[in-house]
Amino acid sequence: MNDPLLSTDHDYSGPAFKPLYTTRVAVTGGGSAHGRATGRARSSDGALSLELRMPEELGGGNPGPNPEQLFAAGYAACFHGALSLLARRHLLDPEPITVEATVALGRDPADGGYQLRADLVVSWPGVDDDTAGPLLAQASALSPYAKMTRQGIPATIGLALSQ
């Protein structure tokens, strides 16, 4: 089962990074506490538009999504996609796969700032450990979110010029 539409084999085009997809999300408004912003997150295409809220554990009072939940959703979804691709390649049913991400925000003991920790737990009923284990390892190598949690990512932070 080597469907090119489901394959990453042909996405690599050489030594330079070549974006396959780019998105932009802006967060505006709201207040902050604990170094945490509230306000509105909106993607440039409008597909994502939501109010960010401070978790109750950090003093927030209004329920709503927060950055850790958004990261957990992205991480779980990305890993789920990679594992599902590999399952199909091995003629296994990806439908029962569930990937649960746990993301924790805490103090970084190295500098007193903040740090994230993330864990994934995969449930795949009907597939034994000897089959699932190697596919989880391959999915970890294939998933850019998993790679990011291991290695970090190239990132820049800049200031927009005032107009």
pLDDT at site 6: 44
- Whether residue 100 contacts residue 77, with contact meaning beta carbons closer than 8 Å, is answered with no
Structure tokens at 1: 């089962």
What domains can be seen in the chain, in order of their start residue?
A: 1-65 (2.20.25.10), 66-154 (3.30.300.20)
Written as one string, the DSSP assignment of 77-131 is HHHHHHHHHHHHHTT---TT-EEEEEEEEEE-TTTSSEEEEEEEEEE-TT--HHH
User: Which pLDDT tens digits describe the chain residue by residue (163 residues)?
Assistant: 444 444 455 555 567 778 888 999 998 887 665 556 678 899 999 999 998 888 888 888 777 899 999 999 999 999 999 999 999 999 999 999 999 999 999 999 999 998 999 999 999 999 999 999 999 999 999 999 999 999 998 888 888 887 7
